[in-house]
Structure 1
Amino acid sequence: MDRRLLAFTAFAAALLMLVGLAGADRPLAEWVHASGIENAPVFLVGLGALDTISGMRIWFWLAGCVALGLGALGWAAWRDARWPRALLAAGIVQVATMHTMSFGKSLFGRLRPHEVLTSGDWSQVWHAGGGSFPSGHSAFYFGLLLPIAAACPRAWQRALLVAIAAFAIVARIDLAKHFLSDVSASALIAALYALLAATLLRRWLPAPAGPARAPTAAGAAA
């Protein structure tokens, strides 16, 4: 797995979470609400299609279970292949991330942006019976796609998978379902779990082997 990608994602997510908690969450939510871009069709329709394709609308745990099942079957049949191990790691990381997210929601009870914007009362946002922090969508998509992206051998594959997860969290901000720190927190959790998985399973997920080199004249003579 590409640990540099995972470490960079963890750093960026931690930075954005701190920026949001330090004061950017409220003005960003108010700007989106007042700018007229809230509930933009590209995010409303796009995220709906993404949730349908991923099976999230059917069952929140479906994608993770499928990844675990396919990964276990593939690993039993093709132990030298990369993809079964990547799916196993993705399933484990996603399930762990979503469990942590669920615990965080009940622990912090943060109201969602649309709830606070409707009431206009910003005096009590935390521990108010809400379910905004951390983000479930961010936990779902980053938990599933980030480990797979880190196991992909090509840069464009990694970029595409991370872009899909990033689209989902930008959409949740645009739909006034989450603050910046909500989505960043779940991305951070997923990146940390993926780093842990990369460390524990490095023998399962080796770096791609380079092309074999032809023996040099000196080597051949020796």
Structure 2
Amino acid sequence: MNRRVLVVVAIVAIVLLAAGFAGLDRPLAEWVHSSGVAHAPVFVHGLGALDTVSGLHVWYWLAGCVALGIGLVAGLARRTLRWPRVLVAAALVQFATIASMIAGKTCFGRLRPQQVLESGDWSHAWFAGGGSFPSGHSAFYFGLLLPLAAACPIRWLRAVLLAIPVFAVLARIDLEKHFLSDVSMSAALAALYSLLVATMARRWLAPRGPQASPIAASARSALP
């Protein structure tokens, strides 16, 4: 995996998380609520379609289980292929991110922006039985697609893989379901888990057999 990509995403997510906690969460939520951009059709319908295609509407763990199953079967059939190992790694990252997200929701009980805006009581937004922090959508999409993007050598495809979770988190903010720090926390978790897997399984994720030819090695060394 391209650890530079993971480090950049981790840094950006942590900076946004800190900015949200430092005071940006509330004015951003209030601006979205009062500016007329909330519940924009592109986010409502776009995220709905994305959740349907990804299976998120069915089960949080579905996409990861599918990726894990395909990776294991293909890896057993062709041990020299790299992409099955990448799928397995991405599934494990998503599982860890989702598990941490669920634990966080249970622990912190943060109310969603629309709930706080309706009550007007910003002093009791935490430990109130809510499910806003961290974001489930951010954990789902960043958890699966960030490690795939970091392992992808094709830059335009990497950009597409990263654009999907970014769209998802922007949609959740626009739909008044999450604060900036909610989505940033899950993205940071996904990036940190991806870095952990990329470091611990570096040799396992490297190409083998025919893919490890001198030409392929030269191409890999030219990548950041």
Give the TM-score, by structure 2 length. Answer: 0.92
State the distance in 2 between where 1:74 and 1:2 align. 23
Match of 1:211 in 2: 215
Match of 1:156 in 2: 156
State the distance in 1 between where 2:33 and 2:9 align. 27
Q: Residue 212 and residue 151 in structure 1: after superposition, are their counterparts in 2 closer, same or farther (change >3 A)?
A: closer
State the distance in 2 between where 1:138 and 1:212 align. 34
Match of 2:220 in 1: none
Displacement of 1:212 after TM fit? 6.8
State the distance in 1 between where 2:175 and 2:79 align. 43
State the distance in 1 between where 2:44 and 2:11 align. 28
SS of the counterpart of 1:57?
coil
Query: Could you list the runs of 5+ residues in structure 2 that have no partner in the other structure?
Result: 218-224
Displacement of 1:206 after TM fit? 2.0
Give the letter for the 2:152 counterpart: C
Q: Residue 22 and residue 70 in structure 1: after superposition, are their counterparts in 2 closer, same or farther (change >3 A)?
A: same
Give the number of equivalent residue pairs.
Answer: 213
State the distance in 2 between where 1:100 and 1:82 align. 27
Query: Could you list the runs of 5+ residues in structure 1 that have no partner in the other structure?
Result: 214-222
State the distance in 2 between where 1:147 and 1:79 align. 20
Greater alpha carbon shift after TM alignment, 204-213 vs 49-58 = 204-213
Report % sequence identity.
Answer: 64
Give the TM-score, by structure 1 length. Answer: 0.93
Matches within 5 A, 1:1-222: 1-206=1-206, 211=215
Give the letter for the 1:23 counterpart: G
SS of the counterpart of 2:123?
coil
Deviations 1:37-59 (A, max 9, x none): 10000000000000000011111
Deviations 1:106-141 (A, max 9, x none): 111100000001111111111111110000000000
Match of 1:220 in 2: none
Q: Rg: which structure is higher?
A: 1
Give the letter for the 2:7 counterpart: A
If each structure's helix is expressed as a fraction of its own residues, which one has the higher value?
2
State the distance in 1 between where 2:189 and 2:130 align. 20
Give the letter for the 1:118 counterpart: E
State the distance in 2 between where 1:195 and 1:156 align. 21
State the distance in 1 between where 2:176 and 2:63 align. 25
Give the letter for the 2:159 counterpart: A
